[in-house]
């Protein structure tokens, strides 16, 4: 199977996964969703609140380390085999322009049909424009879930920002893919500028075998000269098919995106002579020594260990997810004393912000670790639907003389436990706060009133 067919299969698989993932939900949660509208984060079908965005740095570190690892191992394999820019260019250039509208025979063929070329060109751009809008919408589905997106689609006037983002990104894709083309890879993409710093002699690259094919000097192709003492016949099929317009025979170059179109083209020519392609996907060390590519080496192992460490940390932090959120704030009044003859009651007021981050409705109850203090308010359970939040005023009260302190108010550390009455073991959180007990002079003053 040619590299081109392998790449097309990879492109199709990536496209299907990317389009399908936003529609797959488990217990109402997406594989990945960062929703600013609903203020929630879904990772691996687990729901997190925006207050749990501390997980994002772990994801970003894993993402960037994976890019470094992939580059060290396979060079610019991302560029040729996974990058959306490359996939879109293959769709527009190879499928629409070459196969369907017959605008060109191959990537560098300058011959264009003399008949109806402007119409064919316009139709190819128009069809890709539809693809661009689907791609832009697909990107938004990871931030605005499809179940909301298609509802918003029915009222564009009320969601101008959303449609402005989709339209803007789609227009950028049309300009980039249809007009900027491979110049984006050559001049714009920053990845091409930093990738070489991560290469070593065992990094897999697209390499022309000078020992078999012969050496090509600068300017040789322009002068029509063949390589010196080698099997290369100078057909320049590898040059004609290159999307970034380089001559791979002159060695590794910044513009090469590892698409291996040149290897397929050379294999087709050399195959007629019963010889393998002069261009292979291997490492410089492997080509020089004839040994297998050394995939497991210090750099790659180090990256794998670090990535695994962050993945374990992310998994551990994910297990600490709470199925409800509870924020407790004290009111500005330290305490309130209620006197009834010789009996006194001391009350502290709090504001609870409760959010149900689980995927189903729960009713919550509260308890204290201090038996001498009780809840005056609320008396009943607090019921919240999935994803709902509510702010309530809570009053704690004690009827006992907790502390005999004549000079200072005394703050007491207490622990408040909130549980879902239907699943008390699974949905449970503890929060620490303080109950302030007044000094004796304040109690005596209240009793005299």
What pLDDT shows up at residue 109? 46
* pLDDT confidence tier of residue 440, bands split at 50, 70 and 90: confident
**Given a cut of 90, is residue 13 above it in pLDDT?**
yes
Say whether pLDDT at 211 is over 60.
yes
pLDDT band at 418 (very low <50, low <70, confident <90, very high): very high
* pLDDT higher at 114 or 163: 163
Task: State how beta strands 428-437 and 324-330 pair.
Answer: unpaired
Question: What is the predicted pLDDT for the residue at 108?
Answer: 44
Please tell me the predicted confidence (pLDDT) of residue 107: 44
* Pairing assessment for the beta strands 428-437 and 410-420 based on DSSP bridges: antiparallel
Give ∠ CA 265-269-272 in degrees, rounded to 5: 145
Q: What is the percentage of the chain residues whose pLDDT exceeds 70?
A: 92
**Residue showing tokens 């065992």:** 202
Tell me if residue 245 falls in helix, strand or coil: coil
Say if residues 392 and 329 touch (Cβ distance below 8 Å): no
C-alpha angle with apex 319: 315 to 324, nearest 5 degrees? 140
At residue 218 the predicted structure's pLDDT band, cuts being 50, 70 and 90, is low
User: In 3D, which of 400, 364, 369 has the Cα closest to residue 383?
Assistant: 364
Cα end-to-end distance, the chain, whole Å: 95
| pLDDT score recorded for residue 142 | 94
Q: Is the dihedral of CA 69, 195, 136, 242 positive or negative?
A: negative
pLDDT of 154-183, one tens digit each?
Answer: 888 888 899 999 999 999 999 999 999 888
């Amino acid at each position: 199977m040619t590299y081109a067919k392998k790449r097309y299969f990879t492109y199709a698989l990536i496209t299907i996964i990317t389009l399908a993932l936003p529609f797959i939900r488990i217990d109402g949660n997406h594989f990945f969703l960062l929703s600013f509208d609903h203020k929630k984060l879904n990772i691996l079908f687990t729901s997190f609140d925006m207050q749990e965005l501390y997980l994002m740095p772990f994801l970003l570190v894993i993402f960037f380390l994976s890019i470094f690892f992939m580059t060290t191992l396979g060079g610019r394999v991302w560029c040729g085999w996974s990058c959306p820019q490359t996939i879109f260019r293959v769709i527009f250039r190879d499928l629409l322009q070459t196969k369907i509208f017959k605008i060109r025979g191959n990537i560098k063929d300058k011959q264009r049909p003399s008949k109806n070329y402007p119409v064919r060109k316009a139709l190819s751009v128009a069809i890709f424009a539809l693809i661009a809008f689907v791609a832009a919408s697909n990107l938004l589905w990871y931030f605005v879930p499809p179940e909301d997106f298609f509802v918003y689609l029915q009222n564009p006037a009320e969601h101008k920002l959303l449609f402005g983002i989709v339209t803007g990104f789609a227009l950028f894709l049309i300009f980039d893919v249809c007009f900027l083309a491979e110049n984006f890879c050559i001049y714009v993409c920053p990845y091409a500028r930093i990738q070489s710093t991560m290469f070593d002699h065992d990094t897999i690259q697209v390499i022309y075998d000078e020992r078999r094919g012969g050496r090509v000097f600068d300017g040789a192709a322009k002068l029509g000269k063949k390589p010196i003492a080698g099997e290369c016949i100078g057909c320049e099929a590898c040059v004609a098919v290159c999307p970034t317009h380089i001559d791979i025979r002159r060695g590794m170059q910044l513009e090469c995106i590892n698409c291996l179109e040149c290897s397929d083209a050379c294999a087709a020519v050399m195959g007629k002579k019963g010889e393998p392609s002069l261009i292979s996907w291997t490492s410089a060390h492997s080509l020089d020594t004839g040994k297998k590519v050394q995939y497991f080496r210090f750099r790659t192992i180090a990256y794998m260990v670090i990535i695994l460490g962050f993945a374990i940390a992310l998994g551990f932090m994910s297990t600490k997810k709470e199925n409800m959120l509870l924020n407790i704030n004290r009111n500005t009044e330290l305490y309130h004393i209620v006197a009834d003859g010789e009996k006194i009651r001391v009350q502290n007021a709090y504001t609870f912000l409760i959010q149900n981050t689980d995927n189903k409705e729960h009713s919550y109850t509260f308890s204290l670790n201090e038996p001498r203090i009780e809840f005056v308010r609320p008396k009943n359970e607090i019921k919240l639907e999935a994803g709902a939040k509510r702010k309530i005023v809570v009053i704690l009260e004690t009827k006992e003389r907790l502390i005999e302190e004549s000079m200072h108010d005394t703050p007491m550390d207490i622990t408040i436990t909130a549980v879902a009455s239907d699943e008390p073991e699974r949905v449970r959180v503890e929060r620490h706060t303080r109950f302030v007990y007044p000094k004796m002079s304040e109690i005596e003053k209240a009793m005299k009133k």
